[in-house]
Amino acid sequence: MRYSAAFIAILASIPPTLGSRDVQRRGASARISNANTPPVTVKGNAFFVGDKRFYIRGVDYQPGGDGAKKDPLASTTDCSRDVKYFKKLGINTIRVYAVDNSVNHDECMKLLADAGIYLAVDVNTPGYSLNRETWWSLKASYNEVYMQSVFSTVEQFAKYDNTLLFFSANEVVNAINSTFAAPYIKAVGRDIKQFMKARNLRAVPSGYSAADVEENRFQMAQYLNCGGDDERSDFFAFNDYSWCAPSDFQKSGWDKKVQQYSSYPLPLFLSEYGCNTNKRDFGEVATLYSDKMTAVYSGGLSYEYSQGANKYGLVQIDNSGSIEELPDLAVLAAAFKNTPMPSGPGGYKSDAKASNCPTASNQWSVTNTSLPIMPKNAAQYMTNGAGPGPGFNKDPKYPNGSQWAGTPTPGFGAVGASSSSSSGKSGNNTGGAKKSGGVVPSAPARVTWLILASALGFAFRFL
């Protein structure tokens, strides 16, 4: 393509994104092991501890509610209090949706490990995540400031052998018209895997937690498992609230999902379940760990531990930190107690082949296999480490406490491509997205993108 002098002049006049950061760096931390929680690995479409199949049996753990800037693993007092109830439930896993990557978590992770409990942890936080509000906000949010926060969480938690897995994103694709975000979700997963390898960290399984959207959930599963090994996810999870008591395997539609995913080659599990439309009896627990499902599913996480506005809680935590047991706690504990863990390999498939990428449709807008190139300025973390993250609070090292201070790298490319090999392709992300409630880019970022868009429109008149 020819570029006019006017086009080049306008591009040269665009100011760089404001803000720079002085990031502390450190080497990979030593592994922290515990005999009660040996590391979990992936074999075929299942999780294993050594040669024994591992099934996730747990709860989602987010005291303070959805989006709260509260890290339940940062308080030894809270952690000690809640581990007692985890043991009462008889679970082996908790999921935490956001952690403060500026603080140490050794004490709580040890308390969990001593109780035989693993952690499934999301790498995003309310202030540092992919923003699906528009194509431009999504592109702008994928920058080196965001990736430093992600890598910091990975660097800190990979050292614990009871870190079960990383969620690279949660429900970013939440509607038919938001699948344009899929390449960025996949790119973050790719970057996490490359970072762990470059930093010589334990290869903790990394994957995605999908929304309960029937129209494109299976396409998302296929997409995250297509392509080369460096970009494919290690597992796929989704939130499922279709089993509403009284229900069963057929009435809930779980039988059809087992059939749909019967050939899916990655570990599959429920990242949230527990419909509360009616009084919950947790009858799905017995089915989830039965031979009806174990060849395809590896368990799941019940939503959720503490009571919030949506009334899914097992316990109520008051302002003083005291616990009140709610009726669902005993019901779920009984369901787990009456459902023994499956024995043997459970019919798992050992061959984890890549899937075919889904074709474009009204429900799926991605049209090619190229992924966004990792932000150029994030490459330093592969060599030097990420260091402490921004956490939940504003810090002078992080301008305005915002990820929008970072600079995205334009273009798409092959797996592992650097910014210098950008293909400039972006045609596989079109259409609007459902508003997510995320942060809109700050004024400097918005102005930069608007100037660039205007420059492109103006310059093409002279081509």
pLDDT of residue 417: 45
> What single letter denotes the amino acid at residue 395?
D
How far is the C-alpha of 90 from the C-alpha of 78, rounded, in Å? 19
The arithmetic mean of pLDDT across residues 159-187, rounded, is 96
pLDDT value at 280 more than 70: yes
* Angle value at C-alpha 375, between 370 and 378, nearest 5 degrees: 135
The structure's pTM equals 0.83
The arithmetic mean of pLDDT across residues 434-455, rounded, is 35
pLDDT value at 448 more than 60: no
pLDDT value at 399 more than 60: no
**pLDDT confidence tier of residue 6, bands split at 50, 70 and 90:** very low
pLDDT of residue 428: 31
pLDDT of residue 295: 98
Does 272 participate in catalysis according to the annotation?
yes
pLDDT value at 344 more than 50: yes
Q: Are 73 and 124 in contact (CB under 8 A)?
A: no
pLDDT of residue 30: 86
The arithmetic mean of pLDDT across residues 426-452, rounded, is 33
Backbone angles phi, psi at 382, to 5 degrees: -65, -35
The arithmetic mean of pLDDT across residues 233-237, rounded, is 98
pLDDT of residue 68: 65
Cα dist. 58→134, 323, 378 in Å?
A: 34, 19, 34
pLDDT value at 57 more than 80: yes
pLDDT of residue 159: 98
What is the rounded (10 degree) CA torsion for 101, 129, 149, 36? 50
Q: Per the residue annotation, which of 133, 144, 155, 272 is the catalytic one? A: 272
How far is the C-alpha of 413 from the C-alpha of 94, rounded, in Å? 36
CA 17 to chain centre: 27
> What single letter denotes the amino acid at residue 452?
L
The arithmetic mean of pLDDT across residues 311-331, rounded, is 96
Q: Are 47 and 354 in contact (CB under 8 A)?
A: no
Backbone angles phi, psi at 96, to 5 degrees: -115, 125
Record: fold of 42-338: TIM Barrel (3.20.20)
Backbone angles phi, psi at 420, to 5 degrees: -75, -15
pLDDT digits (tens, 9 = 90+) for 72-103: 999 999 999 999 999 999 999 999 999 999 99
Pick from 11-15, 100-104, 362-366: least confident:
11-15
Residue 156 burial (10 A CB sphere; 0-12, 13-18, 19+): buried
Nearest to 96 by CA among 59, 62, 67: 62
Cross-strand partners of 325: 315
More confident of the two residues 10 and 360? 360
pLDDT digits (tens, 9 = 90+) for 180-201: 999 999 999 999 999 999 999 9
Q: Are 176 and 362 in contact (CB under 8 A)?
A: yes
Pairing between strand 323-325 and 315-317? antiparallel
The arithmetic mean of pLDDT across residues 164-184, rounded, is 95
**pLDDT confidence tier of residue 341, bands split at 50, 70 and 90:** very high
Sequence-distant (≥ 6) Cβ neighbours of residue 137 within 8 angstroms: 131, 438, 440, 441
Q: Are 179 and 173 in contact (CB under 8 A)?
A: yes
Nearest to 426 by CA among 389, 384, 372, 375: 372
The arithmetic mean of pLDDT across residues 40-58, rounded, is 98
Nearest to 429 by CA among 346, 368, 363: 368
> In the structure encoding, which two tokens stand for residue 193, read together?
């895997």
**pLDDT confidence tier of residue 122, bands split at 50, 70 and 90:** very high
Q: Per the residue annotation, which of 144, 171, 231, 304 is the catalytic one? A: 171
Does 171 participate in catalysis according to the annotation?
yes
Cross-strand partners of 304: none
How far is the C-alpha of 78 from the C-alpha of 81, rounded, in Å? 5
Average pLDDT of the chain? 84
pLDDT value at 427 more than 70: no
Pick from 25-29, 109-113, 260-264, 311-315: least confident:
25-29
Percent of the residues in the chain that have a pLDDT greater than 70, as a whole number:
79
pLDDT of residue 240: 98
pLDDT of residue 400: 41
pLDDT value at 444 more than 50: no
Give the domain ranges of the chain: 42-338
pLDDT of residue 69: 75
Residue 320 burial (10 A CB sphere; 0-12, 13-18, 19+): exposed
More confident of the two residues 20 and 182? 182
How far is the C-alpha of 319 from the C-alpha of 433, rounded, in Å? 37
Q: Are 272 and 243 in contact (CB under 8 A)?
A: no
